[in-house]
Structure 1
Amino acid sequence: MQLVDWIILIGTLLFIVLYGVWKTRGSKNVQDYIRGGNEAKWWTIGLSVMATQASAITFLSTPGQAFHSGMGFVQFYFGLPIAMIIICIVFIPLYHKLKVYTAYEYLENRFDLKTRTITAFFFLIQRGLGAGITIFAPAIILSAVLGWDLTTLNIIIGILVIIYTVSGGTKAVSVTQKQQMAIIFTGMFIAFFLIISYLPEDITFSKALDIAGISGKMEVLDFSFDLSNRYTVWTGIIGGTFLMLSYFGTDQSQVQRYLSGRSIRESQLGLLFNGLLKIPMQFFILLVGVMVFVFYQFNAAPLNFNPAASTAIQNTQYAEEYSALEDKLSEIQEYKKTSIQNYLNSNTSKEASDARKLMIALESSEKKTRQSAKDLIKEADDTVETNDKDYVFIHFILNNLPRGLIGLLLAVILSAAMSSTASELNALASTTAIDLYKRNITEEKSEQHYVSASKLFTLIWGIIAILVACFANLFDNLIQLVNIIGSIFYGNVLGIFLLAFFIKFVKSNAVFMAAIITQLFIIYVWWQDWLPFLWLNALGCGVVMFLAVLLEPFIPTSEIEVEEE
């Protein structure tokens, strides 16, 4: 990195922090601090909702996912528009009618305090872990690639977020996310057009798509019912709908974004804006990864994109064998370039078919070579992360982009990390302050006291997130890890809300017992790896609703509920 990159990177991050502090100074009451004074317009809500979900993991993992596995991951989001419509019709009017600060307040009105508390507790567990991962994801990758100290990076990202989130609460999160999304979109579009420009002169965009398609990277839709396949149309529509309903309808980090809307209509328009734009955005980010794949068909690519993996094997007994694999990869890549040119210059269908077959065979050979390298690295040092999906895009950025743009793309990654983490800390603090602290204090306190308490809880959760980040371990793929953690809890929480909305004869005690049993069951199903994680959302939702209905006749109704009837 050059001086200009450092200036752009540091300047961008400081601008976001200082702008957030200045723009939201002086929040005097809970309404301003937690609901942003209900001033947000629909485009602010829409961008804030998108920025909350689009963490640094999105911009690091998603291109790498496309590089290795193609465009199929976009199916994960197919349930999003369906979920947005349901939330706009059912959830938003109820939340606004009751003027709740958190989603879980509604559950006490419908059931009782213990149901509200356990649901809030499920949220705090999974979102507290998620906040740590959104800090950890960019930190570990930047640490490995740039040689920065991992712990220091975790602390720096965490502190920057804590400063403006503590200062301005929900409004600070919303106003800074608009700037962050502008930076993110600008950076990603520049990167995309630069990748296209770096391809050989005779390789047009349509030809690049053709090359990617032959290598299996453009297979967007999979209609199979294979449960071992994580990403199909059916897992996206069914499992994805349940996940998105849970996330956007019951997760306070998202609910808080649209509760800040100035009206029901503004909140609904904001969510519909997100529903319309999210799939094209993810498609575009995956397409960036596919274009990076095409770029590396004409340019040398490392055997493993994680620099720590290559370093770990250099001074071991496996170094010579690893070097032989590097030579083999270089040979395969040269053959691939030749076969691509033969395909593009073919004059007959037979020549084109033969070239296609050779390209497919060489792609398969390259995958096997890379897998052999991963196995070798594991033999040399089993503590090193060999799965390099999360390192592909950052490797391209640092080794191919011009001065200044490297700083901008790093600012994109860190801005995304800050926007998601800020939303999560804000929601964690609000839930802790409103659902646990305020609800369990008998003595009446002033508005300023609860604002101060919310700021203190933001600080505490920020410290917890930094600690989680410092002790986390890299998983198979970071974007999958976040969704797996969510899927373990979200289905159960969604089922509780659906019981509250639609099945009026079920009371609190049955729901409470069903929620505990369901959560233990879902954790066991995940531990045994019986289902792809997306299906855990539908399973959890169905099990808790079934159990609550089943248990209702056998569990006594509380005295309070009897009196209300």
Structure 2
Amino acid sequence: MLPIDWIILAGTLIFIVVYGVWKTRGSKNVQDYIRGGNEARWWTVGLSVMATQASAITFLSTPGQAFHDGMGFVQFYFGLPIAMIIICMVFIPIYYRLEVYTAYEYLESRFDLKTRTLTAFLFLIQRGLAAGITIFAPAIILSAVLGWDLTTLNIIIGVLVTIYTVSGGTKAVNVTQKQQMAVIFSGMIIALILIIQYLPEEISFTKALEIAGASGKLDIIDFSFNLDNRYTFWSGLIGGTFLALSYFGTDQSQVQRYLSGKSVRQSQLGLIFNGLLKVPMQFFILLVGVMVFVFYQFNHSPLNFNPAATNAVSQSALAPEYEQLQRNLDRIQDQKQEMSIKYANAGNFSDGDRDSFKAEMLQLNEAEILARRQATELIASANSTVETNDKDYVFIHFILNNLPRGLIGLLLAVILSAAMSSTASELNALASTTMIDLYKRNTGEKTQEHYVRMSKWFTLAWGLIAIAVASIADLFDNLIQLVNIIGSIFYGNVLGIFLLAFFIKYVKSNAVFIAALITQSIILAIYFLTELPYLWLNLVGCLLVIGIAVLLQTFIPTITSKPETNE
């Protein structure tokens, strides 16, 4: 990176932190600190909801996901618009009518304190882990760029985002996320334009899509019911709807975003705005990843995009064998370049020739996949501790090695801005839940200044916990999948509790509490002991807790013999 990249990167991040602190200084009461004074208009709510979900993981992992596996991941979001409509019709009016600060306050009025506490505790576990991952993701980037220690970077990034979140609470999160989303959209659009310009002169955008399609990267919809396929139309529509209902309807990091709205209508419009824009946004980010794939049909790429993995094997006794594999990959890519150009210009040939070119492209793709698999095995043999999964490094490798100076700093600012916006929302929600549902509910009445002060201390504490989680995080399979897996393990259970509260009035608190404990144990067992795709955990968890609670209430009525004072 040149000085201009450092200036753009540092300038963007410092501006966001300073602006957030300055704009939101002086919160005097809980209403201001946790609900932002209920001043947010619909566009602020919508952008804040979107920025909370679109972490650095989105801009790191999603292009890499598309590079390796194509556009099918977009099916994950098919249920989101349906969930937005349900939340607008059911969840938001109830939350506003009860004037709650957190989603879990409602559960005490419907059930009892222990159910509220359990649900809040489940949220704190899964969101505390996820907050660490959202810090860890951008640390990977700077580690690859600067060669710095990951733990040091986790601390730096965590401290930066904690500063303005502690200072201004929800309002600081909302006002900074508008600037962050502007940086994000600008950077990704510029990246796509540059990728297209970098393609050979005879390869237009349309021809680039034809090449991607011939390689199977544009296979968006999979209508199969095969549970071995993680992303299908049905898992996205059904499992995705339940995941989105759980996340946007019961996860405090999102609930807090739209509870800051000026009115019920402003909050509803903000969520509808998010529902309309989210799927196209994810489609666009995946398309960027597909275009990176097309770019590397005409340019050489490394066997493994993780520089640490390449260095590990290059410094071992297996280096000659690895170098030979890289030369083989270079030859394959030279052949792919020739065949891609032929296929793109196949309009000048017969249909038989076009099919022949496509078949050869697919064979070359298989040869490349085999070479990368062999490289992975060599890396693991050279150093079993180094990360061989390189999906999260694909886009950053392209940025660092191909973008003009200055734009490198901008794209890094995009990813770090996304990390800060998402992490800020998470810390803000974790602190609010801890303060409202655990501390305030279980202590005597205090002054508003005391609660604001405690909220800041809880924000700081969760910031430190997130940094600690980030310091021991691993790449797992893919960062964006890891975050969604963590959520799916808990979300279905929590959503089921809320649906029982909303719609099945005869089920009482003890039945729900016992059902929730049983369900969480079963879901953990299913995840660790079976191969069920994680999206289905949301549906299974939701149905389990509802079914078990109804059965307990119906067939063991003595379970509610103790009077319940909260209903």
TM-score by length of 1: 0.99
User: In the alignment, which of 426, 431, 434 is matched to residue 433 of structure 2?
Assistant: 431
Partner of 1:542: 543
User: In the alignment, which of 351, 354, 362 is matched to residue 353 of structure 2?
Assistant: 351
Partner of 2:422: 420
- Does 1:123 pair with 2:126? no
Partner of 1:100: 100
The size of the alignment, in residue pairs, is: 563
Partner of 1:270: 270
Partner of 1:473: 474
Distance 1:91 1:193 in 2: 40
Distance 1:28 1:417 in 2: 28
How far 1:384 sits from its partner (Å)? 0.9
Q: Tell me if structure 2 keeps the 8 A contact 1:222–1:233.
A: yes
- Does 1:8 pair with 2:8? yes
Partner of 2:485: 484
Partner of 2:500: 499
3-state secondary structure, aligned to 2:296 = helix
Q: Decide which moves more: 491-500 or 333-342.
A: 333-342
Q: Which amino acid aligns with 1:536?
A: L
How far 1:108 sits from its partner (Å)? 0.1
Describe the superposition over 1:84-117 as per-residue Cα deviations: whole angstroms up to 9, x where unpaired: 0000000000000000000000000000000000
Describe the superposition over 1:499-528 as per-residue Cα deviations: whole angstroms up to 9, x where unpaired: 000000000000000000100110010001
Describe the superposition over 1:415-470 as per-residue Cα deviations: whole angstroms up to 9, x where unpaired: 000000000000000000000000001x2100110000000000000000001111
User: In the alignment, which of 400, 403, 424 is matched to residue 401 of structure 1?
Assistant: 403
Pairing 1:357-396 to 2, within 5 Å after superposition: 357-396=359-398
- Does 1:248 pair with 2:248? yes
Partner of 1:73: 73
Distance 2:566 2:8 in 1: 61
Describe the superposition over 1:399-421 as per-residue Cα deviations: whole angstroms up to 9, x where unpaired: 00111100000000100000000
Pairing 1:148-163 to 2, within 5 Å after superposition: 148-163=148-163
Partner of 1:533: 534
Q: Tell me if structure 1 keeps the 8 A contact 2:510–2:560.
A: yes
Distance 2:561 2:301 in 1: 65
Structure 2, unpaired ranges of 5+: none
Distance 2:344 2:104 in 1: 59
3-state secondary structure, aligned to 1:262 = coil
Q: Tell me if structure 1 keeps the 8 A contact 2:112–2:566.
A: no
3-state secondary structure, aligned to 1:556 = helix
How far 1:233 sits from its partner (Å)? 0.2
3-state secondary structure, aligned to 2:399 = helix
How far 1:564 sits from its partner (Å)? 6.6
Distance 2:350 2:235 in 1: 40
Describe the superposition over 1:255-277 as per-residue Cα deviations: whole angstroms up to 9, x where unpaired: 00000001000000000000000
Partner of 1:456: 457
Describe the superposition over 1:63-87 as per-residue Cα deviations: whole angstroms up to 9, x where unpaired: 0000000000000000000000000
Distance 1:384 1:465 in 2: 23
Q: Tell me if structure 2 keeps the 8 A contact 1:52–1:420.
A: yes
Distance 2:357 2:295 in 1: 19
Partner of 1:197: 197
Q: Tell me if structure 1 keeps the 8 A contact 2:110–2:566.
A: no
Q: Tell me if structure 2 keeps the 8 A contact 1:141–1:390.
A: no
How far 1:560 sits from its partner (Å)? 4.0
Distance 2:354 2:491 in 1: 49
Q: Tell me if structure 2 keeps the 8 A contact 1:38–1:260.
A: yes
Q: Which amino acid aligns with 1:528?
A: L
Distance 1:345 1:229 in 2: 34
Distance 1:309 1:118 in 2: 42
Distance 1:291 1:558 in 2: 63
Distance 1:355 1:288 in 2: 25
Partner of 1:514: 515
Distance 1:231 1:247 in 2: 18
Describe the superposition over 1:283-330 as per-residue Cα deviations: whole angstroms up to 9, x where unpaired: 000000000000011111111000011100112221111111101100
Describe the superposition over 1:153-201 as per-residue Cα deviations: whole angstroms up to 9, x where unpaired: 1111111111100000000000000000000000000001000000011
Q: Which amino acid aligns with 2:383?
A: D
How far 1:474 sits from its partner (Å)? 1.7
Partner of 1:42: 42
Distance 2:426 2:81 in 1: 23
TM-score by length of 2: 0.98
Partner of 1:232: 232
Partner of 1:85: 85
Q: Tell me if structure 1 keeps the 8 A contact 2:84–2:271.
A: yes
Distance 1:104 1:564 in 2: 14
3-state secondary structure, aligned to 2:560 = coil
How far 1:556 sits from its partner (Å)? 2.6
Partner of 1:556: 559
- Does 1:332 pair with 2:339? no
Q: Tell me if structure 1 keeps the 8 A contact 2:59–2:415.
A: yes
Distance 1:6 1:288 in 2: 24
Q: Which amino acid aligns with 2:408?
A: I
Q: Decide which moves more: 545-554 or 419-428.
A: 545-554
Distance 2:525 2:345 in 1: 55
Q: Closer, same or farther in 2 for the Cα pair 1:38/1:215, shift >3 Å?
A: same
Describe the superposition over 1:328-379 as per-residue Cα deviations: whole angstroms up to 9, x where unpaired: 1001001111112222344222221111111111011111111111111111
